[in-house]
């Protein structure tokens, strides 16, 4: 490459709503591997990631946490940045959609689209899925629920601005036709055509008025910009588009690839290019929709309590092992299953056995027979030629596969070379050569070839395992030039290796013991979490959200306990005689374990007064009292002794 070509790659920007799990890390690690590979090849790379911080979902979570939305996201974003550090993510920029420059540029985009007539005001009536921040028409719902995540949708009716998406239908079809890789892999293109393009595009609602946490529309401040318009714009605003200094935008746009999960391909391949066309901005070269990392029971989710924490995995097995597993285990583009067993097996077979053995055998023999100084002697054999040819073939296949983001296949190529080199040791039997003084040159040539293989393997593995690669190159004593991409095809170019014996790179893991240990840790963590944060746990398993109208159906009242007695033949129930304003009533409550009748008389509590009456052990119970279940063996009534009996609680 005479003049450095640019390569701009992005991940989605993440919602800072919960801790990110291994599924989120999957996408970022893949983007990182590609960014590192392109840098290695000599590209001038811009690698962008960030956080998508506006929207109703975040606003609601912040309210629930008793924080302002900004305060809420600040804390989570700090954790996300830390996670990317642990995973050794080499992003060049990190954008937050709450950053000033982004807010200003999005406002500019919205105004430009409005001035152009591509955004107009109307009324929106339809369904909204808050977790996905997506609008749906009646016929798109599946059993009345969100077709993407299967959760409840809300009927929304508000005055809104609309983007003339329908106007770009034809232009989008032409874009896909002229650029068959624009939507990759091919299956995603088919999904888009069948599910969205062929049924016909509707104009898109692009502003909201029913909540506040978003970017205000400058010319109508009742409205905020729809979160997906805000989020998608990050890919150009991060480069300074629309600001005083747009040099990065001039240099890097259009992007070579937006890497995204399959469920958000439609935003990136329909809404985003249509917005860009409307703004007269070139579209990106490719949107690659990868599959999901699933668990045996389905998708990971906090409510199912089955999320896999990448931090825990990195601490236990090392960052490089996790990065390698994510890239190698599942062909990129397909869905795949994560399991501890698959992870441990992969570490054992590829890293501890194949790579680890090759490194340790080579370095040990180099040290033992030549004091670590290895140079080519020319005492070659036909086996050497075979090894050299294979190395060349692996490099060329690997390069093609990495350029197509086919990580798993690319790294499988590298391990073809690793396995061949291990076999080469068995075939050449250096320990036998060492016994014969006349074979010394041959022995040194064999070790030289092995060092060359390791040098090449390290360069090729660098996008997946940067630290391990650097370690191996260090143990080989390779100079800077020998670590560069330009030298990956020059088998035999190294003048001399000065090897040193390093640590064991990937200790073998005892699968059974490790699985038992992981299960025991899981049980322990669950028990500790239940003990330490019963309230938080209760929140996690809370029923679905309700509307204010649902809440208004409850008649909550203050009641005074005027008498209290044990219900015969029941070891749980107490009968409470209550005064609710002028009205008398009784409630049977399962609180005998925690309260003596005499302790309750005269106290005031809150009851649900309009609960349908029922009879328990012969006692008519009309209403339900509010109590806090601190844990399985601790329950406290909510006392409101200075409130007036009969008054309403809202
Ligand atoms: N904020 C939007 C993206 C806006 S981009 C302009 C969003 N955020 S997200 O945090 O919900 O998801 C970010 C990415 O993580 C998505 O690409 C999504 O597909 C990916 N993943 C989330 N769970 C995943 C798995 N279990 N497996 C693989 N990827 C998954 O969407």
Whole-number pLDDT of residue 536 = 43
Residue 106 CB–ligand 1 contact under 6 Å:
no
Distance, CA 380 to ligand 1 centroid (Å)? 52
Distance, CA 559 to ligand 1 centroid (Å)? 49
Residue 24 CB–ligand 1 contact under 6 Å:
yes
DSSP β-ladder status, 154-163 and 119-129: antiparallel
Task: Please tell me the residue having the least CA distance from ligand 1 atom 24.
Answer: 23
The tally of CA atoms less than 13 A away on the side-chain side of residue 22 is 26
C-alpha to C-alpha distance for 29 and 342, rounded to whole angstroms: 18
Token reading at 263: 């469920």
Whole-number pLDDT of residue 539 = 41
C-alpha to C-alpha distance for 512 and 523, rounded to whole angstroms: 17
* Distances, alpha carbon 93 to alpha carbons 11, 34, 449, 502, 646, in Å: 11, 16, 40, 34, 59
Whole-number pLDDT of residue 28 = 98
Whole-number pLDDT of residue 541 = 42
Is the alpha carbon torsion for 585, 591, 593, 597 positive or negative? negative
Which residues in the chain show pLDDT less than 70? 1-2, 18, 301-305, 532-544, 631-633
pLDDT digits (tens, 9 = 90+) for 184-218: 999 999 999 999 999 999 999 999 998 899 999 99
Task: Please tell me the residue having the least CA distance from ligand 1 atom 10.
Answer: 14
Distance, CA 12 to ligand 1 centroid (Å)? 7
Task: Please tell me the residue having the least CA distance from ligand 1 atom 13.
Answer: 14
Number of neighbours of residue 129 by Cβ within 10 angstroms: 21
Residue 411 CB–ligand 1 contact under 6 Å:
no
Indicate the top mutation candidate among 10, 11, 13, 14 to test ligand 1's pocket, ranked by most ligand atoms within 8 A of CB: 14
Question: E strands within 427-582?
Answer: 496-498, 556-566, 574-580
| Ligand 1 atom index nearest CA of 52 | 1
* Distances, alpha carbon 442 to alpha carbons 118, 262, 386, 413, 498, in Å: 74, 53, 16, 28, 18
Distance, CA 210 to ligand 1 centroid (Å)? 25
Is the alpha carbon torsion for 619, 624, 627, 632 positive or negative? positive
* Distances, alpha carbon 604 to alpha carbons 115, 536, 579, in Å: 61, 27, 9
Is the alpha carbon torsion for 307, 313, 316, 317 positive or negative? positive
Task: Please tell me the residue having the least CA distance from ligand 1 atom 18.
Answer: 261
Is the alpha carbon torsion for 145, 147, 153, 155 positive or negative? negative
List the one residue out of 205, 210, 238 whose CA is nearest residue 104.
238
Distance, CA 217 to ligand 1 centroid (Å)? 26
206: DSSP letter? -
Indicate the top mutation candidate among 76, 264, 293, 334 to test ligand 1's pocket, ranked by most ligand atoms within 8 A of CB: 264
C-alpha to C-alpha distance for 76 and 63, rounded to whole angstroms: 15
601: DSSP letter? T
Question: E strands within 348-411?
Answer: 373-375
Distance, CA 504 to ligand 1 centroid (Å)? 36
Residue 52 CB–ligand 1 contact under 6 Å:
yes
Task: Please tell me the residue having the least CA distance from ligand 1 atom 25.
Answer: 23
Distance, CA 607 to ligand 1 centroid (Å)? 43
Whole-number pLDDT of residue 382 = 95
Residue 13 CB–ligand 1 contact under 6 Å:
yes
Contact 189, 183 (CB under 8 A): yes
DSSP secondary structure string for all residues of 637-650 = E-B-TTSPTT-EE-
C-alpha to C-alpha distance for 582 and 559, rounded to whole angstroms: 10
| Ligand 1 atom index nearest CA of 267 | 6
Entry field: residues in the chain: 650
Contact 336, 342 (CB under 8 A): no
pTM of the model: 0.81
Backbone angles phi, psi at 625, to 5 degrees: -95, 155
Long-range contacts at 277-283 (CB < 8 A, ≥ 24 apart): 277/168, 277/171, 278/113, 278/116, 278/118, 278/163, 278/164, 278/168, 279/109, 279/112, 279/113, 281/236, 281/241, 281/253, 281/254, 282/253, 282/254, 283/175, 283/182, 283/254
C-alpha to C-alpha distance for 499 and 367, rounded to whole angstroms: 7
| Ligand 1 atom index nearest CA of 14 | 10
C-alpha to C-alpha distance for 466 and 459, rounded to whole angstroms: 9
C-alpha to C-alpha distance for 54 and 234, rounded to whole angstroms: 12
Given the structure tokens 């360069």, which residue do they identify? 459
Return the CA Rg of the chain: 32
Residue 32's contacts (CB-CB under 8 Å, 6 or more residues apart) are 47, 87, 88, 89, 90, 91, 323, 463
Residue 296's contacts (CB-CB under 8 Å, 6 or more residues apart) are 337, 339
């Amino acid at each position: 490459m005479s003049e450095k070509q640019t390569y701009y790659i992005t991940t989605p920007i993440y919602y800072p709503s919960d801790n990110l799990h291994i599924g989120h890390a999957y996408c970022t690690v893949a983007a990182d591997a590609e960014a590192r590979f392109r840098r290695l090849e000599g590209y001038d790379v811009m690698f962008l990631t960030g956080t998508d911080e506006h929207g109703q979902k975040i606003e609601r979570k912040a309210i629930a946490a008793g924080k302002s939305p900004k305060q809420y996201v600040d804390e989570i974003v700090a954790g996300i940045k830390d996670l990317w550090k642990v995973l050794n993510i080499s992003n060049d920029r990190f954008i937050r959609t709450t950053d000033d420059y982004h807010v200003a540029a999005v406002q500019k985009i919205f105004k430009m689209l409005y001035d152009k007539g591509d955004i107009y005001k109307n009324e929106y009536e339809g369904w909204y899925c808050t977790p996905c921040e997506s609008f749906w028409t009646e016929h798109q719902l599946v059993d009345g629920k969100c077709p993407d995540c299967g959760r409840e949708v809300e009927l929304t009716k508000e005055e809104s601005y609309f983007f003339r998406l329908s106007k770009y239908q034809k232009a989008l079809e032409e874009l896909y036709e002229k650029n068959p890789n624009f939507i990759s892999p091919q299956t995603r293109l088919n999904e888009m055509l069948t599910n969205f393009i062929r049924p016909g595009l509707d104009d898109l609602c692009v502003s909201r008025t029913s909540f506040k946490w978003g970017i205000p529309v400058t010319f109508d401040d009742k409205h905020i910009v729809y979160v997906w318009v805000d989020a998608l714009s990050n890919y150009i605003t991060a480069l300074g588009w629309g600001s005083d200094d747009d040099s990065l935008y001039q240099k890097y746009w259009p992007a070579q690839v937006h890497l995204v999960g399959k469920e958000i391909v439609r935003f990136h391949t329909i809404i985003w290019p249509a917005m860009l066309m409307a703004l007269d901005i070139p579209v990106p070269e490719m949107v690659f929709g990868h599959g999901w990392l699933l668990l045996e029971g389905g998708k990971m989710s906090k409510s199912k309590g089955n999320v896999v924490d990448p931090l825990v995995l990195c601490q236990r097995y090392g960052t490089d092992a996790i990065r390698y597993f994510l890239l190698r285990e599942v062909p990129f583009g397909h869905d795949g299953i994560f399991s501890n067993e698959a992870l441990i097996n992969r570490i054992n077979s590829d890293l501890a056995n194949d790579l680890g053995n090759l490194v340790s055998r080579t370095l040990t023999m180099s040290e033992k027979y030549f004091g670590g100084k290895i140079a080519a002697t020319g005492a070659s054999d036909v086996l050497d030629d075979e090894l050299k040819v294979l190395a060349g073939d692996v490099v060329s296949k690997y390069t093609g596969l990495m350029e197509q983001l086919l990580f798993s296949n690319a790294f499988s190529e590298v391990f073809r070379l690793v396995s061949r080199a291990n076999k080469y040791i068995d075939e050449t039997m250096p320990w036998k050569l060492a016994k014969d003084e006349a074979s010394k040159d041959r022995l040194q040539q064999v070790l030289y070839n092995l060092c060359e293989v390791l040098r090449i393997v390290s360069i090729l593995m660098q996008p997946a395992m940067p630290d391990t690669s650097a370690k191996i190159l260090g143990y080989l004593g390779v100079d800077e030039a020998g670590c560069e991409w330009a030298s990956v095809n020059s088998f035999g170019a190294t003048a001399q290796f000065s090897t040193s014996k390093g640590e064991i790179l990937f200790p073998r893991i005892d699968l059974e013991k490790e699985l038992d240990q992981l299960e025991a840790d899981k049980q322990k963590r669950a028990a500790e979490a239940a003990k330490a944060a019963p309230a938080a746990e209760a929140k996690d398993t809370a029923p679905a959200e309700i509307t204010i109208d649902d809440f208004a159906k409850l008649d909550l009242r203050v009641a005074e306990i005027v008498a209290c007695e044990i219900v015969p033949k029941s070891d749980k129930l107490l009968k409470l005689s209550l005064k609710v304003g002028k009205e008398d009533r009784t409630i049977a409550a399962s609180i005998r374990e925690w309260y003596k009748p005499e302790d309750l008389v005269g106290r005031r509590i809150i009851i649900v007064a309009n609960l349908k009456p029922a009879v328990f052990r012969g006692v008519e119970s009309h209403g339900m009292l509010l109590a806090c279940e601190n844990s399985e063996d601790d329950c406290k009534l909510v006392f409101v002794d200075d409130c007036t009996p009969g008054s309403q609680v809202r």
